[in-house]
Amino acid sequence: MPELPEVELARQVLTDALGRRIRDVDDHDDWVCRPHAPGDIAAALRGGRLTGAHRRGKTLWCETESGAGRPGPHLGLHLGMAGQLRFGGRSGPPGRAREREEKPEWFRFGITFADGEQLRLFDTRRLSRVRLDPDLDALGPDAGEVSRREFRERVGRGRAPVKARLLDQSVLAGIGNLLADESLWQAAIAPARPVNELSGDDLANLHKALRKALRAAIEHGGVHTGEIIPHRRAGDHCPRCGAALTHGTVGGRSTWWCPAEQI
C-alpha cells in the first residue's frame, strides 16, 4: 500500500507534466473515475493545462487551468494499493519490474498532451481513484509538514495506542502500517503504549523519528527501504540490539516491534 513517501515520489512525476496543453483525456474506466461518467473528466480538462501538483498524506491533486486561462477544477488522484503514475519514462512510485506484457486494460486513466507526451495511471488491481475536486476536509495535516507542537497536541490526545493514533488519517495524513512501525522503532516506543502515557520528550522523539524516516524513505525510493522493515518476519531480530522481534496486532494492523528497546 503506497504511503506518504511513495505518493510524494508520484507527485514528483506529476511535476514534469505541468504547463503542457491537454489534447485529450482517457477517462473510460467508470469504476476508477466514479462518480463521474466516461467523458466527464475529459470535458472538464480538454484544452487546458495542469498548473500545480500537490499532496496531503496519500492524496494527490493537480490544479488546472481552462483553455481560456481561467482556474479549472482540481484533478484528484489516489493510487490505491498498487497504482503508478507514468510520464516521459518516469514512474512513481517505483514498483516491481514491469510485466513482459502489460494488458491495455491495466491503464485506467490517461492524459495526452499537445506535444504527444502522455501521463498514464497504471493499476493492475483497479483500486486507484480519479475524480474532480476531491474532498480533503477529513484529512489531518500532512505527516511530513506537521510542526512538533501540533504533532504533540494531535498525537498525544486521548488514550488510544500510539500506533493506532498514528494510523488515523484524520489525526495525521500519510502514515501507513510500515511507516508507523519504522517510526516507533526509531523512537524506541512500544506501539501499543497509550498516548496519554507518553511524555513530552517521548512525543518530541517520535516526531523527530517520523521526520527522519520520511526523509530516508523518499530519498531511497519508498518506505520499504526502512531499517526495521526487512526484519518484520518470523524469527528475525532487531538490527540495533539483536533481540528477537515480537509480532502482534495493534489498531487492527499487523505490527512488529523490539520488546527489549520499545517500552
pLDDT at site 100: 57
Give the distance from CA 151 to its chain's centroid: 19
Could you give the CA distance from residue 180 to residue 134 in angstroms, rounded to a whole number?
26
Q: Of residues 126, 161, 253, 261, which has the active-site annotation?
A: 253
DSSP-based helix, strand, coil % in the chain, nearest 5: 30, 25, 45
Q: Of residues 2, 5, 73, 134, which has the active-site annotation?
A: 2
Candidates 103, 104, 102, 83; CA nearest to 94 is 83
Could you give the CA distance from residue 191 to residue 256 in angstroms, rounded to a whole number?
9
Residue type, 128: S
* 2 flagged as catalytic: yes
- Other CB atoms within a 10 A radius of the CB of residue 169 amount to 17
Query: Sign of the CA dihedral 240, 241, 244, 250?
Result: negative
pLDDT at site 89: 82
Residues 6 or more apart whose CB falls under 8 angstroms from that of 205 comprise 187, 188, 189
pLDDT at site 29: 97
Question: What DSSP character marks residue 20?
Answer: P
* 219 flagged as catalytic: no
Are 122 and 84 in contact by the 8 Å Cβ rule? The answer is: yes
Q: Of residues 3, 6, 8, 182, which has the active-site annotation?
A: 3
Cis amide bond preceding 259, omega within 30: no
* 261 flagged as catalytic: no
pLDDT at site 71: 96
Q: Where are the alpha helices (DSSP H) in the chain?
A: 4-15, 40-45, 148-155, 162-167, 177-187, 200-220
* 212 flagged as catalytic: no
Q: Whole-structure pTM over 0.75, yes or no? A: yes
Structural domains of the chain ordered from first start: 4-132 (3.20.190.10), 148-257 (1.10.8.50)
Q: Of residues 20, 55, 56, 58, which has the active-site annotation?
A: 58
Could you give the CA distance from residue 257 to residue 81 in angstroms, rounded to a whole number?
24
pLDDT, averaged in runs of 10, over the chain (263 residues): 91 96 97 97 97 96 94 96 91 67 92 97 96 95 97 96 98 97 98 97 98 96 96 97 98 97 96
Residue type, 99: E
